[in-house]
């Protein structure tokens, strides 16, 4: 039986939330890919810990000013609640351990492990938020992960003991996102951004202690750091809005789009040329996200 005209012109609210959440997540992942590129370029001139501290401090200040512009307190009282303190610990752990993984293991291996985050987040949605995750949704998450592996194709010899840092970093990021979902509604995106970038600064300081020493950034490096701050803030806003809009298990698969953006940036800026298998993996990743939205429709 055909739906009434009003139902066809105005889709249900829950589908609109899923679509908005997917859009926020996709835009956020695109911004994070640009942030990664900017940090990578900046770290060729200064230690990565120094780069993280600089754009972490600038991002904290920008989010604080944005909160004040909206008439909000920069530091929400809820930052000392159990949920937000847990989120801060997860933020620091995720940033710190993943940075160590990038330093000690091959990039492809660390990136492949990080793509397990959507499945971990979906599991957390079941355990802590009583969300129902269907078999089709699990299959779409698995399909996205397979697509990632087709792009990265990590060698078995690369998975050594130090890869545990990537596992811990992935768990940290998943915990941060789940805690974001549980953040008080009264806590705005700007206030969450202040807290998140402050924790990013602390993680960078720890890295700087172990890396030892700083270097004066060149003029071009400052431009990369400014770009990292801008795209990092946009990515953080997109991620936060996504985790607070749609169902967790529905928006999480769109995390895989980060690799698609990285693939495009590699071609356009770094001159990389993906092979047929990488393009097949990209198509599978896109299809996994489409399946999720079609199920919600």
Residue 254 predicted with pLDDT over 50: yes
Q: What is the pLDDT of residue 185?
A: 81
pTM: 0.73
Q: pLDDT confidence of 15, banded at 50, 70, 90? A: low
- How confident is the model over 64-82, as a mean pLDDT? 89
Q: Which residue has the tokens 């005209």?
A: 5
Q: Which of 26-35, 44-53, 57-66, 204-213 has the lowest mean pLDDT?
A: 204-213
Q: What percent of the chain has pLDDT over 70?
A: 76
Q: What is the pLDDT of residue 113?
A: 65
CA 32 to CA 197: how far, in whole Å? 14
Task: Compute the half-sphere exposure of residue 244: CA atoms within 13 Å on the CB side of its CA.
Answer: 18
CA 239 to CA 1: how far, in whole Å? 38
Residue 12 predicted with pLDDT over 70: no
CA 153 to CA 57: how far, in whole Å? 36
Q: pLDDT confidence of 155, banded at 50, 70, 90? A: low
- The shares of helix, strand and coil residues in the chain, as percent rounded to the nearest 5, are 80, 0, 20
Q: Which of 56-60, 99-103, 205-209 has the lowest mean pLDDT?
A: 99-103
Dihedral of CA atoms 15, 17, 18, 21 in degrees, nearest 10, equals 160
Residue 71 predicted with pLDDT over 60: yes
Decide: residue 103, CB within 10 A, 0-12 exposed, 13-18 middle, 19+ buried: middle
């Amino acid at each position: 039986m055909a739906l009434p005209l009003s139902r066809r012109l105005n889709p249900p609210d829950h589908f609109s939330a899923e679509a908005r959440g997917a859009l926020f997540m996709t835009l956020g992942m695109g911004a994070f890919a640009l942030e990664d590129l900017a940090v990578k370029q900046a770290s060729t001139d200064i230690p990565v810990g120094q780069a993280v501290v600089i754009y972490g401090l600038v991002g904290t200040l920008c989010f604080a000013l944005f909160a004040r512009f909206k008439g909000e307190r920069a530091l929400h009282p809820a930052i000392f609640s159990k949920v937000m303190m847990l989120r801060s610990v997860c933020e620091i752990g995720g940033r710190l351990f993943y940075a160590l993984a990038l330093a000690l293991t091959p990039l492809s291996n660390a990136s492949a492990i990080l793509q397990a985050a959507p499945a971990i987040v979906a599991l957390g949605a079941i355990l802590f938020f009583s969300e129902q995750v269907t078999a089709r949704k699990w299959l779409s998450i698995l399909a996205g992960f397979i697509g990632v592996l087709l792009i990265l194709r990590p060698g078995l010899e690369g998975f050594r003991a130090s890869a545990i840092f990537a596992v811990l970093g992935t768990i940290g990021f998943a915990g941060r996102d789940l805690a974001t979902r549980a953040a008080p509604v009264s806590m705005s995106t700007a206030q969450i951004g202040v807290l998140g970038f402050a924790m990013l600064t602390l993680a960078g300081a720890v890295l700087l202690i172990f890396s030892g020493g700083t270097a004066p950034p060149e003029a071009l490096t400052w431009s990369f750091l400014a770009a990292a701050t801008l795209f990092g803030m946009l990515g953080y806003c997109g991620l936060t809005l996504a985790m607070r809009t749609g169902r967790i298990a529905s928006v999480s698969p769109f995390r895989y789009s980060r690799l698609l953006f990285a693939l495009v940036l590699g071609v356009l800026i770094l001159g990389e040329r993906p092979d047929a298998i990488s393009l097949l993996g990209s198509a599978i990743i896109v299809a996994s996200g489409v399946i999720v939205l079609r199920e919600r429709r």
